[in-house]
Amino acid sequence: MDDDALLAEQLAYYKAGAAEYDRQYAEYEGLRKLLAVVDELPIAGDVLELACGTGQWTSRLAPRARSVTAVDASAEVLALARARTAASPAVRFVQADLFAWRPPRRYDTVFFAFWLSHVPPARLPAFWNTVAAALAPGGKAIFVDNGPAIAAEEEVLADQPAPAVLRRLDDGSEYRVVKVFHDVRPLTDDLTALGWSVRIRSMAGDFIGVAEPPRPSRR
């Protein structure tokens, strides 16, 4: 697809910047509020976490779950996530490209934080199909991400194959990263059009969503 090179650069950014990732997370003012609401979310049973990064959320999910399968494409961030969750034997890590990987089983909860905004719009229907395929009957998808207000803090790029921003690492290297600043209402409408039942609430410049997949059609 036209966005393949952009996605390869995005992955390179997270691989090269793994050691800096937690610092950037800590500097984000809204993070503490978002992490604090984990206990309020319907996280239960066997959990699949997509784009787990360095395990910031994995360590919060583990006490709520029977098991956690955490997937990320970067071996570098997965090494940090394993260290962070070493005391949680129910957590299993998988290195895989989320745009090619298919879940081998079903889960009660699929969770992803600050990942939806890194999915190019052209790939969203396929991504949500993957999420639906990963959910057991009665399961829920739970997601956390930035809203449009955060765009003012980014260096937005024009004329890219997908909405993108420029990110810099401490060594001065620059990378293009997909960044779609979803507005709650259009995102709700888009998911509803795909057959999902969804509730999204705003929290300052961010949002938290809970979605249930389309019901299988009866024939």
Q: What are 111-154's pLDDT values in tens digits?
A: 999 999 999 999 999 999 999 999 999 999 999 999 999 899 99
Asked, for residue 138, whether it belongs to a domain, the answer is yes
Asked, for residue 56, whether it belongs to a domain, the answer is yes
Asked, for residue 217, whether it belongs to a domain, the answer is no
Asked, for residue 166, whether it belongs to a domain, the answer is yes
Give pairs for 156-164: CB < 8 Å, separation 24+. Answer: 160/6, 161/1, 161/2, 161/3, 161/5, 161/6, 161/120, 162/3, 162/6, 162/120, 162/121, 162/122, 163/120, 163/121, 164/6
Stretch among 17-26, 158-167, 174-183, 189-198 having the lowest mean pLDDT: 17-26
What Å distances lie between residue 148 and 33, 99, 116, 182, 211, CA to CA?
Answer: 18, 24, 13, 6, 20
Q: Is the pLDDT of residue 92 over 80?
A: yes
Asked, for residue 156, whether it belongs to a domain, the answer is yes
Classify 122 in phi/psi space as left (phi over 0), alpha (psi -120 to 50) or beta: alpha
Asked, for residue 219, whether it belongs to a domain, the answer is no
Q: Is the pLDDT of residue 66 over 50?
A: yes
Please give the angle made by the CA atoms of 84, 66 and 75, to the nearest 5 degrees: 35
Asked, for residue 218, whether it belongs to a domain, the answer is no
Token pair 């955490």 in the structure block, residue: 70
CATH number of the domain encompassing residue 168: 3.40.50.150
Coil vs helix vs strand at 90? coil
Looking at residue 1, what is its pLDDT? 63
Range of the domain at 64: 4-212
Asked, for residue 105, whether it belongs to a domain, the answer is yes
Looking at residue 151, what is its pLDDT? 92
Classify 141 in phi/psi space as left (phi over 0), alpha (psi -120 to 50) or beta: beta
Query: In the numeric block, which tokens belong to residue 182?
Result: 């979803």
The whole-model pTM stands at 0.94
- Supply φ then ψ for residue 97, to 5 degrees: -80, 115
| Domain count along the chain | 1
* Residues 165-190: tens digit of each pLDDT: 999 999 999 999 999 999 999 999 99
